[in-house]
Amino acid sequence: MLAFRNVPSYVNDITESLQNVSRLFADDSSLAVTSNNPNSTDILMNTDLSNNLEWSKQWLVNFNPAKAESMFCCLANFDKPKLTFDNHVINIVDYHKHLGLTLSCDETWHNHIQNIIASTNKILGSMKALKFKLHRKTLNQIYLAVLRPHLEYGSIVWDYCRTYEKELLEKFNMKLLA
């Protein structure tokens, strides 16, 4: 998967010149390639990247290649392809946050669960500071409106996470109830 940041919303025709799967959402776009031959992914992706660059020149849209990332998910060991965009080598990452979900090349949700706990811990700290200043009903409303959406966002996607990851969330939930 390859992700760009800060893509304008008027770029719906950008996908017309692409050979592979692409997704656009607000100011993010992603390219994805599925291949039985991992060694061919560099050709497939670099072709689409080149097409994106040509499109951007035609429509005077500036991408920031420094913000582009690539992530490879493969069952076999292989040399990760070198992807370039506008003469910049694209950084290869093991996990990538996309639309609020942390996707990982090892196909686990561990990094995502850790991000959930980290972000909700900050909110929980603020709530604990208000524990003796606000009514319990008000704290419950803050929990439902602010903290709980962080815990549940995208759960339909990551709910099949591993048992130990669910246990991490359960421990955190017990901490909330204490």
| pLDDT tens-digit map of 77-132 | 777 888 888 999 999 899 998 888 999 988 889 899 999 888 888 888 888 888 88
pLDDT at 9: 47
| pLDDT tens-digit map of 21-61 | 777 776 677 888 887 777 788 888 888 888 888 888 888 88
Three-state DSSP state, 3: strand
pLDDT at 26: 63
Three-state DSSP state, 20: coil
pLDDT of 174 over the 80 cut:
no
* Rounded Cα distance, 82 and 105, in Å: 17
Q: Containing H/E element for 53? A: helix 41-59
Q: Which residue has the tokens 């591993």?
A: 162
Q: Containing H/E element for 46? A: helix 41-59
CA angle in degrees (0–180, nearest 5) for 87-89-93? 155
Three-state DSSP state, 160: coil
pLDDT at 102: 92
| pLDDT tens-digit map of 17-29 | 777 777 777 667 7
Residues in the chain: 178
pLDDT interval class at 137 (50, 70, 90): very high
pLDDT at 145: 92
pLDDT at 51: 87
Tell me the pTM: 0.73
